[in-house]
Amino acid sequence: MTKHRSIAIDGPSGAGKSTLARALAKALGYLYVDTGAIYRTVGLQACRTGVDPEDRDGVVALLPGLDIRLGYGEDGVQRMFLNGEDVSQAIRQHEISRYASGVSALPEVRAFLLDRQRQLAAEHDVVMDGRDIGTVVLPQADVKIFLTAAPEARARRRWLELQQRGDETDYETVLRDVIDRDEKDTNRATAPLRQAEDAVLADTTQLDLEQSLDLLISIAKERLQA
């Protein structure tokens, strides 16, 4: 049986994980798996059905009726499907961030999604990003990277991204949300955000996108050859 290689990228909200992980996967010829998008899809369903993300029983009750699928186009971009509907754009609305953070803190939700994430890594060479990939989902990953940047830098990047999508949320609101999510993700009881002991720290506060990608490619190639 062929052993597939795996790269785990963890880090806080707005660190650029999705953009950089996708670019890294393309550079290496790996499959990109955005686990945050999967949790956002659960959060979207909670939002649409009026279930508060802090309502544990309400969120758990949604799980049996969820058909969540990942699709990939020829460009390798991951698409999210919820009960047959392409929700790839809908899950990126700013308000869904709060729902994603809430539902991802629930152990029942994480258990519901864990096997399908591991299955993707068993079947493909993957670059997988999230909050607990290197610590929980793929603890035996060949490469582990903890990607971070100062909260202000992350908030500005997220704010600019929202502006490009036509979302007029102001910067101060985004910064507050980034800091709040850091607090929740770091202190949640189930699979908290933390750097794995064997993960390489990559701080991109002072780096642009191209420099950040070069850093990740360098780390990945060095670790894969070790």
Q: Which CATH number covers residue 89?
A: 3.40.50.300
Residue 148 pLDDT level (bands cut at 50, 70, 90): very high
Residue 34 lies in a domain: yes
Percent of the chain predicted with pLDDT > 70: 98
Number of domains making up the chain: 1
pTM of the predicted structure, to 2 decimals: 0.82
Residue 75 has pLDDT above 80, yes or no: no
Q: For position 79, what pLDDT does the model report?
A: 92
**In contact, 206 and 37? CB cutoff 8 Å:** no
**What's the pLDDT tens digit per position in 34-47?**
898 999 999 999 99
Reduced to 3 states (helix: H, G, I; strand: E, B; else coil), residue 81 is strand
Pairing mode, strands 143-148 and 200-203: parallel
pLDDT, greater one: 135 or 191: 135
**In contact, 223 and 143? CB cutoff 8 Å:** yes
Residue 1 lies in a domain: no
Residue 192 has pLDDT above 90, yes or no: no
What single letter denotes the amino acid at residue 211?
A: Q
Average pLDDT over residues 144-152: 97
Average pLDDT over residues 176-205: 91
Q: For position 46, what pLDDT does the model report?
A: 97
What single letter denotes the amino acid at residue 38?
A: I
Residue 29 burial (10 A CB sphere; 0-12, 13-18, 19+): exposed
Q: For position 50, what pLDDT does the model report?
A: 97
Residue 58 lies in a domain: yes
Residue 68 lies in a domain: yes
Would you give the DSSP letter of residue 169? -
User: For the chain, what's the residue count?
Assistant: 226
Residue 165 pLDDT level (bands cut at 50, 70, 90): confident
Residue 215 has pLDDT above 90, yes or no: yes
Residue 67 has pLDDT above 70, yes or no: yes
For the chain, state the CA radius of gyration: 17
Beta-ladder partners of 202: 147
Residue 135 lies in a domain: yes
Residue 180 pLDDT level (bands cut at 50, 70, 90): very high
Q: Which residues, at least 6 apart from 112, have a Cβ–Cβ distance to it below 8 Å?
A: 63
**Whole-angstrom distance, CA of residue 76 vs CA of residue 99:** 27
Pairing mode, strands 31-34 and 200-203: unpaired
Mean pLDDT (the chain, rounded): 92
Residue 135 has pLDDT above 70, yes or no: yes
Residue 132 lies in a domain: yes
**Whole-angstrom distance, CA of residue 71 vs CA of residue 187:** 32
> Among the listed ranges 83-92, 131-140, 158-167, which one has the minimum average pLDDT value?
158-167
Q: Which residues, at least 6 apart from 212, have a Cβ–Cβ distance to it below 8 Å?
A: 16, 20, 202, 204
CA–chain centroid gap for 97, Å, is 11
Containing structural domain, residue 108: 6-225
Q: Single out the residue of 118, 147, 126, 113 nearest to residue 40, CA to CA.
A: 113
Residue 171: other Cβ atoms inside 10 A: 15
Reduced to 3 states (helix: H, G, I; strand: E, B; else coil), residue 108 is helix
Q: For position 1, what pLDDT does the model report?
A: 53
Q: For position 226, what pLDDT does the model report?
A: 66
**What's the pLDDT tens digit per position in 9-31?**
999 988 989 899 999 999 999 99
